[in-house]
């Protein structure tokens, strides 16, 4: 299903759309306030961009350095070329340790690799321990946002879900009661877990350590209780040195939720005494993206979600309409690189207003990359007949001033005189929910020339 079709399903519930839009705009505001408290925020963004660009240009060196140091620390390191290999590696580690119950803290990589269904098919219980992730897991839905996975759910919906799955009492969506119940439920799961899986926010080449950021402390709970900790990371999570961490921690928390620092920035450098620690380093299309000069900067992404919170299309179409692990503007750059045909509608789900690029903490030129994908997609995939023909016609009109003036006159007259039902008739999809202005009597060109004459 194309993005616009999927979005039209989300758009049926207007109340929810308005609420979703407002909720994310609120987070965007928090981000703005928080970034304005940092003198030199722009320098910090430049620094983040520069460190990421340097790391990606020397990825081979830093990956090897990271592996060497992690091994020295007693961590077992595994390499996976794709999602299937990643899943097989995690599965074999769990088998080796006879692990049947797993707690997992938020990891978009394991979502991307579809790890949960893979493990569940072999009878392994996987519990997502981030509250938002647990909510969508119970609802049997994918996350709709990378930082706020259940942002599309109202508290009343969560209330119903918890009654059904956790046996809670009806509470009119009382957030305090619901989080208290989730806490009790998850505590049990942490205590029973045979293994913990976490994502990785940053992997530091010169120490061989990793950093995981959460607001709920669930990564720490899992990794500190279970006898086995498996951390799964994409190759792009590397930073060269410990001293670079401060740059990214400051950028990440402020851009994501407007916090000055994430509540828990947990450093894991070696296994606990008597426990095991594994790191699975995954490519899954990342080096291919690195090889595309126009799109390699998309690998700078630190998954803060700011581009989603600010995007007018994302806010009013919801994360599920992107049908991709990473939704929103950055997802619309990453997904076509994986499957151009399936995700060909995503780069068009943008106003190209550039707000995403303005808020991106690592200065990815998101809107410019979306525009580049559009050009590639238009050339490489079949375009609908109506779109192809109308674009050709428009090209023709725009390239000939006489014709342009004639058609402009007809359009202005039509806007002034034809009934709205004709202007916004069914074939005019653009007119759905939008009102065109009343057409002016003269063109800008005529107005300008007359004004000049009067002067
Ligand atoms: S592209 Fe930039 S703004 Fe969007 S999630 Fe990644 S780092 Fe954040």
Residues 183-209 have pLDDT tens digits of: 999 999 999 999 999 999 999 999 999
Which residue's CA is the nearest one to ligand 1's atom 2?
A: 360
Ligand 1: centre distance to CA 251 (Å): 10
Asked whether 107 and 126 are in contact (CB, 8 A), the reply is: no
User: Measured from the CB, is residue 361 less than 6 Å from ligand 1?
Assistant: yes
**pLDDT above 80 for 432:** no
Summary mean pLDDT of the chain = 95
Asked whether 436 and 415 are in contact (CB, 8 A), the reply is: yes
What's the whole-number mean pLDDT along residues 293-321? 97
What's the whole-number mean pLDDT along residues 325-334? 96
Mutate to test the pocket of ligand 1, among 362, 363, 369 (most ligand atoms within 8 A of CB): 362
C-alpha triplet 394, 374, 347: angle, nearest 5°: 120
User: Measured from the CB, is residue 303 less than 6 Å from ligand 1?
Assistant: yes
Angstrom distance (rounded) from CA 260 to CA 214: 13
**What is the phi/psi pair of residue 204, to 5°?**
-105, 115
The pLDDT of residue 397: 92
The pLDDT of residue 455: 79
**pLDDT above 80 for 437:** yes
Q: What sign does the dihedral 323-140-144-14 (CA atoms) show?
A: positive
**pLDDT above 80 for 428:** no
SS (H, E, C) the chain: CCHHHHHHHHCCCHHHHHHHHHHHHHHHHHHHHHHHCCCCHHHHHHHHHHHHHHHHHCHHHHHHHHHHHHHHCCCEEEEECCHHHHHHHHHHHHHHCCCCEEEECCCHHHHHCCHHHHHHCCCCEEEECCHHHHHHHHCCCCCCCCCCCCCCCCHHHHHHHHHHHHCCCCCCCCHHHHHHHHHHHHHHHHHHCCEEEECCCEEECCCCEEEEEECCCHHHHHHHHCCEEEEEEEHHHEECCHHHHHHHHHHHHHHHHCCCCCCEEEEECCCCCCCEEEEEEECCCHHHHHCCCCCHHHHHCCCCCHHHHHCHHHHHHCHHHHCCCCCHHHHHHHHHHHCCCCCCCHHHCCCCCCHHHHHCCCCCCHHHHHHHHHHHHHHHCCCCHHHHHHHHHHHHHHHCHHHHHHHHHHHHHHHHHCCHHHHCCCCCHHHCCCCCCCCCCCCHHHHHHHHHHHC
Mutate to test the pocket of ligand 1, among 149, 357, 361, 368 (most ligand atoms within 8 A of CB): 361
User: Measured from the CB, is residue 3 less than 6 Å from ligand 1?
Assistant: no
Q: How confident is the model at residue 434 (pLDDT cuts 50, 70, 90)?
A: confident
Number of the ligand 1 atom closest to the C-alpha atom of 302: 7
Q: How confident is the model at residue 252 (pLDDT cuts 50, 70, 90)?
A: very high
- The alpha carbon of residue 345 and the mean position of all alpha carbons in its chain are separated, in whole angstroms, by 16
Q: How confident is the model at residue 426 (pLDDT cuts 50, 70, 90)?
A: confident
What's the whole-number mean pLDDT along residues 134-148? 96
Asked whether 271 and 231 are in contact (CB, 8 A), the reply is: no
**pLDDT above 80 for 430:** no
The pLDDT of residue 207: 97
What's the whole-number mean pLDDT along residues 136-143? 96
- The domains of the chain, with CATH numbers, are 1-37+294-383 (1.10.1060), 59-284 (3.40.50.10420), 394-454 (no CATH)
The pLDDT of residue 420: 79
User: Measured from the CB, is residue 258 less than 6 Å from ligand 1?
Assistant: no
The pLDDT of residue 275: 96
**What is the phi/psi pair of residue 81, to 5°?**
-75, -30
Ligand 1: centre distance to CA 362 (Å): 7
What's the whole-number mean pLDDT along residues 26-41? 96
The pLDDT of residue 383: 83
Which residue's CA is the nearest one to ligand 1's atom 7?
A: 301
**pLDDT above 80 for 410:** yes
The pLDDT of residue 117: 97
76-80, 362-366, 390-394: segment of lowest average pLDDT: 390-394
**pLDDT above 90 for 284:** yes
Q: Which residues of 115-141 are buried (b: 16+ CB within 10 A; e: fewer)?
A: bbebbeeeebbbbbbbbbbbbbbbbee
The pLDDT of residue 390: 87
User: Measured from the CB, is residue 277 less than 6 Å from ligand 1?
Assistant: no
80-89, 125-134, 228-237, 423-432: segment of lowest average pLDDT: 423-432
**pLDDT above 80 for 427:** no
Q: How confident is the model at residue 424 (pLDDT cuts 50, 70, 90)?
A: confident
pTM: 0.90
92-106, 117-131, 228-242, 423-437: segment of lowest average pLDDT: 423-437
Which residue's CA is the nearest one to ligand 1's atom 3?
A: 360
Ligand 1: centre distance to CA 171 (Å): 36
């Amino acid at each position: 299903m194309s993005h616009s079709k999927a979005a039209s399903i989300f758009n049926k519930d207007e109340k929810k759309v308005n609420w979703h839009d407002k909720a994310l705009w609120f987070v965007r505001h928090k981000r703005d306030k928080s970034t304005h408290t940092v003198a030199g925020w722009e320098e910090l963004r430049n620094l983040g961009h520069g460190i990421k660009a340097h790391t990606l240009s020397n990825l081979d060196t830093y990956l090897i350095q990271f592996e060497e140091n992690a091994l020295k620390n007693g961590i077992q390191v595994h390499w996976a070329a794709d999602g299937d290999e990643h899943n097989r590696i995690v599965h074999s580690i769990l088998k080796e340790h006879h692990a049947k119950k797993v707690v997992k803290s938020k990891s978009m990589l394991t979502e991307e690799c579809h790890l949960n269904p893979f493990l569940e098919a072999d009878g392994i219980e996987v519990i997502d321990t981030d509250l938002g992730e647990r909510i969508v897991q119970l609802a049997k839905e994918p996350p709709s946002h990378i930082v706020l996975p259940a942002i599309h759910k109202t508290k009343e919906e969560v209330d119903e879900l918890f009654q059904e799955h956790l046996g809670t009492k009806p509470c009119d969506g009382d957030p305090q009661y619901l989080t208290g119940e989730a806490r009790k439920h998850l505590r049990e799961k942490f205590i029973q877990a045979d293994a913990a899986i976490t994502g990785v926010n940053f992997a530091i080449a010169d120490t061989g350590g990793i950093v995981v950021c959460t607001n709920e402390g669930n990564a720490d709970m899992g990794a500190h209780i279970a006898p086995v900790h498996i951390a799964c990371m994409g190759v792009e999570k590397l930073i060269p040195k410990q001293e670079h961490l401060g740059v990214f921690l400051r950028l990440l928390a402020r851009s994501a939720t407007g916090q000055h620092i994430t509540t828990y920035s947990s450093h894991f450098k070696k296994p606990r005494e008597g426990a095991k620690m594994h790191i699975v380093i995954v490519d899954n299309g990342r080096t291919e993206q690195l090889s595309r000069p126009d799109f390699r900067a998309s690998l700078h992404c630190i998954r803060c979600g700011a581009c989603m919170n600010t995007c007018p299309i994302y806010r009013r179409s919801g994360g599920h309409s992107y049908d991709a692990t990473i939704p929103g503007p950055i997802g619309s750059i990453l997904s076509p690189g994986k499957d151009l045909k399936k995700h060909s509608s995503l780069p068009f789900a943008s106003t190209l207003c550039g707000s995403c690029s303005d808020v991106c903490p690592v200065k990815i030129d998101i809107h410019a990359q979306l525009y580049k994908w559009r050009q590639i997609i238009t050339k490489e995939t079949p375009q609908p007949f109506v779109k192809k023909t109308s674009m050709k016609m428009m090209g023709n009109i725009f390239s000939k001033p006489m014709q342009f003036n004639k058609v402009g006159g007809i359009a202005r007259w039509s806007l002034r005189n034809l009934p709205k039902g004709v202007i916004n008739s069914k074939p005019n999809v653009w007119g759905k929910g939008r009102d065109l202005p009343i057409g002016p009597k003269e063109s800008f060109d005529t107005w300008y020339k007359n004004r000049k004459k009067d002067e």
